[in-house]
């Protein structure tokens, strides 16, 4: 397993992390993801650790807290070997402090997560969404108190826009609060919006990307093909409306190229899709989930090898879309590109 620095921090994380969204199985959305119990979770943790996967990601909203509970039990006896990443901020109840990142909400969320996880600290705590109703300085000062109390080691965010993240970083610098070192983002071959603004911001400000849903909400598993119905067992039957939208034409164009490269390399479609992400700037770790050991072992096969420069170029061409304004001039017009080179020039090319 390769290990990488998480943004401008001293924390080293594995290139692949394990996402525990399948643990617990409560509710319509997370029940469709999976219902891994403690015994199976322990086995998946065994397999992950054997491969060098040392970071495990969850959230308080995953199965109404059951994901954290199952993960905590699965990690018993080996807490010192792992990093735990969790998130809070989305609604967990209907009460006045049941959502958001106000001071009382954050303090309770952290204490509840520590209890469910059965640990005395969280290695990486992320805000699951931006809270427009709470002053940024209140959020950051509360996180600083929690870091000072030893309950949190590092802090980050998830699903922030560029201005929300930049304003938060500037506020942290102004008042001496902890800086966000991670941004958990949606990024995949069929969802490259991260590159337009958040990736350059991450490069400039030292914020590492943790990638969620790297297989495009289950669309890049190798089971979805042009001209075929959605497989009967696909979770997309129940969860498509919850995830990022994907244009079918672009999806099939990307899958066609993935199929070609699978034939050339002997690798599977998901392994190629994950490997492409591992070569992108700012990506510190790609979070992979699994409903069973077979899925996990296949995903683990995404590391230890590299796509060629020509293969990367083909995937780039199949998956690219016209950027939204004001980003597209910097990609399509020479004058703009000369003063602000496209992000592709910063990507090390494989040989």
**Residues with catalytic annotation?**
62
| Bridge partners (DSSP) listed for residue 124 | 85, 154
State CA 55 to chain mean position distance: 12
Closest CA to 87 of 143, 34, 36: 143
CB atoms within 10 A of CB 296: 21
Q: For the chain, give the longest Cα–Cα distance.
A: 59
Instruction: Kindly give the residue spans of alpha helices, DSSP state H, lying in 132-247.
Output: 136-148, 162-175, 198-205, 236-239
Residue 64: DSSP 8-state:
G
Relative orientation angle of helices 66-74 and 38-50, to the nearest 10 degrees: 60
Contacts of 343 (CB under 8 A, 6+ apart): 195, 199, 200, 281
Q: What is the dihedral of CA 44, 48, 51, 57, to 10 degrees?
A: 160
d(CA 10, CA 343): 25
How far is the CA of 243 from the CAs of 124, 147, 246, in angstroms? 24, 32, 9
């Amino acid at each position: 397993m390769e290990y990488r620095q998480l943004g401008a921090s001293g924390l080293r994380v594995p290139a692949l992390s394990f996402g525990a969204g399948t643990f617990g199985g409560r509710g319509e959305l997370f029940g469709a993801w999976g219902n891994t119990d403690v015994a199976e979770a322990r086995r998946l943790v065994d397999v992950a650790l054997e491969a060098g996967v040392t970071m495990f990601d969850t959230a308080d909203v995953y199965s109404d807290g059951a994901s954290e509970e199952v993960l905590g039990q699965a990690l018993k006896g080996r807490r010192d070997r792992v990093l735990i990443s969790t998130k809070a901020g989305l609604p967990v109840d209907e009460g006045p402090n049941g959502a958001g990142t106000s001071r009382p909400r954050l303090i309770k969320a952290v204490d509840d997560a520590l209890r469910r996880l059965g640990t005395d600290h969280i290695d990486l705590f992320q805000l699951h969404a931006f809270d427009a109703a709470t002053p940024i300085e209140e959020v950051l000062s509360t996180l600083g108190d929690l870091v000072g109390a030893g309950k949190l080691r590092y802090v980050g965010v998830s699903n922030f826009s560029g201005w929300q993240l930049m304003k938060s970083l500037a506020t942290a610098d102004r008042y001496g609060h902890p800086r966000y070192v991670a941004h958990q983002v949606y990024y995949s071959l069929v969802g490259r919006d991260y590159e337009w603004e958040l990736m350059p911001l991450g490069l400039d400000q030292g914020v590492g990307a943790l990638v969620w849903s790297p297989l495009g909400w289950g669309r890049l598993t190798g089971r979805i093909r042009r001209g075929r119905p959605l497989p009967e067992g696909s979770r997309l039957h129940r969860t498509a409306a919850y995830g990022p939208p994907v244009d079918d034409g672009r999806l099939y164009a990307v899958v066609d190229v993935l199929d070609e490269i699978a034939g050339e390399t002997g690798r599977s479609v998901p392994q190629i899709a994950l490997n492409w992400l591992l070569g992108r700037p700012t990506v510190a770790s790609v979070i992979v989930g699994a409903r069973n050991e077979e899925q996990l072992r296949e995903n683990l096969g995404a590391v230890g090898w590299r796509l060629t420069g020509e293969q990367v170029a083909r995937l780039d061409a199949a998956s690219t879309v016209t950027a939204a304004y004001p980003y597209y001039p910097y990609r399509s017009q020479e004058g703009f590109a000369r003063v602000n080179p496209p992000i592709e020039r910063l990507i090390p090319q494989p040989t």
